[in-house]
Amino acid sequence: MHPESESQPQTTDAAPSSSGRFSGWRLLVEGLTGQRGWSRAWAKAAPRPRYRVVIVGGGGHGLASAYYLASRYGITDVAVLEQGPIGLGNVGRNTTIIRSNYFRADNIRFYDYSLKLWEGLEQELNFNAMVSQRGTLNLFHTEAQRDLFTRRANLMRLLGVDAQSVSRESVKALVPLVDLDNGRYPVLGGFLQRRGGTVRHDAVAWGYARAAARAGVDIVEHCEVTGIRREGSRVIGVETTRGPIAADTICLAVAGHSSRLAAMAGLRLPIESHVLQAFVTESIKPVLDVVMTYGAGHFYVSQSNKGGLVYGGGIDGYNTYGQRGTLPMAEEVAAAAVTLMPGLARLKVLRQWGGVMDMSMDGSPIISKTAVQGLILNGGWCYGGFKAIPAGGMTTAHLIARGEPHPLAAHFNLERFAAGRTIDERGAGPFPFAH
Ligand SMILES: Cc1cc2nc3c(=O)[nH]c(=O)nc-3n(C[C@H](O)[C@H](O)[C@H](O)COP(=O)(O)OP(=O)(O)OC[C@H]3O[C@@H](n4cnc5c(N)ncnc54)[C@H](O)[C@@H]3O)c2cc1C
């Protein structure tokens, strides 16, 4: 059964009106008539004094939650408050990788649900998000790693999720640039998930914002939340740079700013903020048509449709709210790149940037009620929250609408930290740098 099918109450018709619908025919007509018929993708809403639900943070998770609240649960009295313009947070800064090749069964189910939603997302949102299921290939370099990946692949297959082991020779056939016998960590083989791939990140934010607005949600940009108002143990609204707004439910979906916002409501979260960098090289001819990760270092790379290699590594390792990174990590990531593919040494890096990551203490996300009544948290996404946007949005919407966790996300509750039931997907312990 489709995991969502048992939890779909009143479904509203979120389909865009014909005047704003994208189609091949429309493109042709607009092309022939001077492109004068397009309207704004979403209205620039001014905040109203009161909403049933206020979502703080217009990133992927905030926008997706709002969209599914309106389209699946019939709740349209919703505002998304974003301190800047839509799409400039982590949703527009990541390396765009989607996959569901996790180790724990509950995580495989959650992330594969997300992958299934990605597969139909462009049709649902009527927006070209360039979903590209080009495959994700994890390389392994030791027999122990081979065992781990084999166990992971077997578990995924038992749950009906695609995964396969590939030989050294197949790795070379898939990515001819790889130096299998590189002096540091020779490649023994790979672990491939064909349905993994990439999605154009900022198109995801724009697509959800457009669809949510068309379903009746107010997308309020340039509206920073500066305080959370409480009456006793429950929230009653937010203070913003555009005035106070009352709400029955407030959902924090602010990624790297989760701890700061939760503190406004008097909560201390098991989340640290860290910077993670990404890099893009100059454009070259097609050389890489899978997403590849390096099992002996923290390095992942894909080639964008424009031809640049998009790559990244680990967090810089210190707490910060700065959206930039340090040279030592840039050097470490570049070293991994040229170890694996020496031919890359001659490429120029065109752009580099950073995003503020909400690193939870067990490396897993939090979709949960909190000790403050009416305050919901969607956060702790660490490196991996982009791929989770559709499922994160859907399950957060379920939690808000139904008042109880969605079965696929019930394990992401906040109480697990106090109860010692942490979700240590990597078996790495409570250290953000190890996740
Ligand atoms: C370099 C990099 C590479 C990554 N690569 C991947 C990847 O390949 N695959 C993957 O799955 N994940 C990846 N991630 C992680 C992923 O991008 C994040 O986990 C995910 O985008 C976080 O959720 P979000 O989109 O809702 O966050 P964001 O887009 O950051 O949204 C949070 C929003 O809250 C807003 N906000 C903050 N404070 C306030 C306030 N006081 N008032 C109002 N608004 C506020 C911010 O402006 C921001 O727009 C990567 C992240 C980075 C930085």
- Domain-wise residue ranges, the chain: 40-128+200-270+362-434, 136-195+273-359
Tell me how far apart the alpha carbons of residues 390 and 54 are, in angstroms, rounded to a whole number. 19
Neighbour-count burial for 176-187, b at 16+ CB within 10 Å, e otherwise: eebbeebeebeb
- 127, 203 Cβ separation under 8 angstroms: yes
CA distance 375 to 368: 9
CA distance 318 to 433: 9
Task: Report yes or no: 236 and 246 within 8 Å, Cβ to Cβ.
Answer: yes
Rounded to whole angstroms, how far apart are CA atoms 73 and 65? Answer: 11
**Would the CB of 369 count as within 6 Å of ligand 1?**
no
pLDDT > 90 fraction of the chain, expressed in percent and rounded = 90
Residue 119 has pLDDT above 80, yes or no: yes
DSSP-derived 3-state class of residue 55: strand
Running DSSP on this structure, what letter comes out for residue 409? T
80 is written with which tokens? 């998304």
| Segment 111-134 mean pLDDT | 97
Q: Which has the closest alpha carbon to 426: 383, 396, 367, 377?
A: 383
Q: Is the CB of 253 under 6 A from ligand 1?
A: yes
User: Contact 392/117 with Cβ under 8 angstroms?
Assistant: no
364 lines ligand 1 (CB under 6 A): no
Rounded to the nearest 10 degrees, the angle between the axes of helix 201-214 and helix 389-402 is: 30
For atom 49 of ligand 1, the residue with the nearest CA is 89
Say what the pTM is: 0.94
182-231 pLDDT per residue, tens? 888 999 999 999 999 999 999 999 999 999 999 999 999 999 999 999 99
8 Å CB contact between 90 and 385 = yes
For residues 16-21, average pLDDT: 58
- pLDDT > 50? residue 389: yes
Q: Report whether pLDDT(283) > 50.
A: yes
Q: Rounded to an integer, what distance in angstroms lies between the CA atom of residue 253 and that of residue 358?
A: 11
Looking at domain 136-195+273-359, does it have CATH number 3.20.20.70? no
The protein residue with its alpha carbon nearest to ligand 1, atom 2, reads 94
Comparison of pLDDT for 20 and 80, the residue scoring more: 80
Whether the CB-CB separation of 54 and 249 falls below 8 Å is answered with yes
Angle, CA 101 vertex, CA 98 and CA 106 arms, to 5°: 110
Q: What pLDDT band is residue 243 in, cutting at 50, 70 and 90? A: very high
Question: 259: CA distance to ligand 1 center in Å?
Answer: 14
Distance CA 114, CA 393 (A): 9
* 135 touches ligand 1 (CB under 6 Å): no
The CATH architecture annotation of domain 40-128+200-270+362-434 reads 3-Layer(bba) Sandwich (3.50)
**Section 62-77 average pLDDT:** 98
Beta bridge partners of 54: 79, 250
Q: How far is the CA of 90 from the centre of ligand 1 (A)?
A: 3
Question: According to the model, what pLDDT value does residue 5 have?
Answer: 39
Predicted pLDDT at 15: 41
Q: How many angstroms is it from 183 CA to the middle of ligand 1?
A: 36
Check pocket membership of 82 for ligand 1, CB cut-off 6 A.
Answer: yes
